[in-house]
Amino acid sequence: MPDMESAPAAPATIAGLDEKILTERREAVSRTRRDVLFDVDGLTVSYADVPALKNVSLEIYKNFLTAFIGPSGCGKSTFIRCFNRMNDLIPTASVEGKILYHGTDLYGHEVDSVEVRKRIGMVFQKPNPFPKSIYDNVAFGPRILGWKRELDDRVERALRNAALWDEVKNRLKSSAYGLSGGQQQRLCIARCLAVEPDVLLMDEPASALDPISTTAIEDLMHTLKRDYTIVIVTHNMQQAARVADMTAFFSVEVDEEQDRRTGILVEYDETPTIFTNPGDKRTEDYVTGRFG
């Protein structure tokens, strides 16, 4: 951000945020049609009967980029893992409440978690390419789904959409472990895109990367937003402000008596509002850096 210092920052704005960009974003968000894709209603997630996240309700809109921010332990990663039922893999985890996806409850009895994950892809904090070639990494998803026709085209398209094609087109058969961290993360994104999901979940996708790779991933998010609905978890507030249309702020509720820390949703609004004019004192303290 070149004019970072000259920008007139509003009093309750986190340092380094450009007011002009925020205004533009505010207008853009208000112009976009809001179609509800996920309708979360009274969601509580517990590990071994201890609630980690309590009574969350919010709506996530189609083709929006939604960010979850908040301090460590506020349950934002737990929350994002509910959208593709990754919490099912933890034996002690239990989920109450509803997440409607196109009107169907993701946790309904007739819904298979494998089917959910085919449509709702996920990118993790640490790049986790498979110990295979670049090509085989991207082709893994289509192969397990039995999409064998025109696999080469599909792989190329996914790599192009992840802005990685030009860097790897001459070494598709070499190991994915030879790529840099940022390239590996874009490969993981390409791997998700190859199965043509509806939604991309990203759990702190850039927190293990250097600034240049982070910028590349953020640019990619902007491009992908046109075709996908994206949900990200980030601990970097500038990142949320740069990329997200909507932002949800989570916080921790400490129960001194039982020594329990439970995540709660404090505020959910358009990103510029969260960062410049939050409705809750706790949000304001957090985004201005006064969080204790």
Partner 1 sequence: MSAIPAPLGQRPRGDKVRGTIFYVLLLISVAVGFIVLFTLIVDVVQKGIGYIDPLFFTEPNNPTNPQEAGAKPAILGTIYLMVLLLMFVVPIGVGTAIYLEEYADRERWYNRLLELNIQNLAAVPSIVYGILGLAFLVRGLGLGRVLLAGALILTLLVLPTVIVASREAIRSVPDSIRQGAYALGATQWQVVRRQVLPAAIPGIATGSILALARAIGETAPLLLVGALTYVTVDPSLLGSFTALPVQIYQWIARPQEEFRYLAAAGIMVLLAILLTMNAFAIWLRNRYQRRW
Which residues make up the interface to partner 1 (CB under 8 A)?
A: 84, 86, 89, 91, 114-115, 117-119, 121-122, 124, 126, 128-131, 140-141, 143-145, 177, 188, 191-192, 195
**Interatomic CA distance for residues 253 and 115, integer angstroms:** 34
Nearer to partner 1, 89 or 212 (CB): 89
We find the least distance from the C-beta atom of residue 160 to partner 1, in angstroms, to be 19
> Would you state the torsion angle of the CA atoms of residues 98, 103, 105, 110, taken in this order, to the nearest 10 degrees?
170
CA dihedral angle for residue 268, residue 126, residue 124, residue 21, rounded to 10 degrees: 40
Give the nearest distance from C-beta 222 to partner 1 in angstroms.
22
- Residue number with CB closer to partner 1 (126 or 225): 126
Which residue's CB is nearer to partner 1, number 177 or number 291? 177
CB of 124 to partner 1, least distance (A): 7
CB of 133 to partner 1, least distance (A): 12
Residues 258-273 as b/e (b if ≥16 CB within 10 A, e otherwise) read: eeebbbbbbbbbbbbb
Residue with the two structure tokens 């039922």: 85
Between 134-144 and 181-193, two packed helices, what is the crossing angle to 10 degrees?
Answer: 20
| Burial zone of 118 (CB within 10 Å; 0-12 exposed, 13-18 middle, 19+ buried) | middle
Q: Which is nearer to partner 1, 62 or 143 (CB)?
A: 143
13 vs 78, beta carbon nearer partner 1: 78
Cβ 204 to partner 1, closest distance in Å?
13
Closest C-alpha among 41, 50, 61, 59 to residue 90? 50
* Min dist. Cβ of residue 114 to partner 1 (A): 5
User: Between residues 124 and 165, which has the closer beta carbon with respect to partner 1?
Assistant: 124
